[in-house]
């Protein structure tokens, strides 16, 4: 969240919570990718494994031969398919869509970026709720004035984020003084965040 606060740009017109979500989500996915599997499978195989899972899900009644034919149309030969079936059967954890695709034939995206989904997954809703709870606990570490300035500055009240000058007008303080209070508050938030980890 601190990284998001450091990089946040009011001029882009986004709410801080929307922007911070991306940073927090990325950090969580990176940790899961790094620590989430007992045995690492090459990222390139994850793409093919995901394709296999999609095909199996879409064709639950298909025979092995029919699955091989479908995979062949996708550019996966029988030997590769056998490897994928073996991995699929022996995986302890299900394949995460958060896997980072850092292989020589990838663009550096995550697998989730390659799969279309127009609905909001339950885990995103849980993450958003957890992020809001964390944010409220973090803001409780601040004085009332610091808290309100952070809320105004980053639009945490579902309003448009305010400029330093606008907040200065509310508190009858200079832009520079508001900036100092903001920086002090962000320092406290960073300390709180570090102590929670």
Q: What is the pLDDT of residues 16-38, one digit of tens each?
A: 777 677 777 777 766 655 555 55
Q: What is the pLDDT of residues 70-84, one digit of tens each?
A: 888 888 888 888 888
Q: What is the pLDDT of residues 83-120, one digit of tens each?
A: 888 877 765 445 555 666 555 554 556 655 555 555 55
pLDDT score, position 25: 74
Render 14-57 in DSSP notation, one character per residue: --HHHHHHHHHHHHHHHHHHHHS-SS---HHHHHHHHHHHHHHH
pLDDT score, position 171: 92
Mean pLDDT to the nearest integer, 54-77: 87
Tokens encoding 179:
């900036």
Instruction: Say which residue the tokens 């990325």 belong to.
Output: 26
| Measured distance CA(187)–CA(150) in Å, rounded | 12
pLDDT score, position 31: 64
pTM value > 0.75? no
Q: What is the pLDDT of residues 126-155, one digit of tens each?
A: 667 777 777 888 888 899 999 999 889 888
């Amino acid at each position: 969240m601190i990284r998001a606060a450091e990089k946040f740009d009011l001029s882009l017109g986004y709410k801080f919570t929307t922007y911070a979500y991306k940073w927090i989500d990325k950090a969580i996915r990176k940790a899961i990718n790094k620590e989430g599997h007992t045995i690492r499978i090459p990222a390139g195989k994850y793409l093919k494994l995901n394709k296999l899972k999609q095909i199996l899900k879409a064709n639950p009644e298909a025979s092995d031969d029919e699955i091989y034919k479908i995979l062949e149309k996708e550019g996966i030969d029988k030997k590769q398919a056998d490897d994928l079936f073996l991995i699929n059967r022996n995986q302890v954890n299900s394949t995460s869509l958060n896997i980072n695709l850092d292989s020589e034939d990838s663009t550096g995206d995550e697998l989730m970026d390659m799969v279309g989904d127009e609905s909001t997954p339950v885990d995103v809703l849980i993450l958003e709720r957890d992020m809001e709870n964390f944010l409220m606990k973090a803001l409780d570490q601040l004085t009332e004035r610091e808290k309100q300035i952070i809320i105004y500055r980053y639009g945490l009240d579902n309003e448009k984020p305010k400029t330093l000058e606008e907040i200065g007008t509310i508190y009858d303080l200079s832009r520079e003084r508001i900036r100092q209070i903001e920086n002090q508050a962000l320092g406290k938030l960073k300390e709180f965040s570090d102590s929670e980890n």
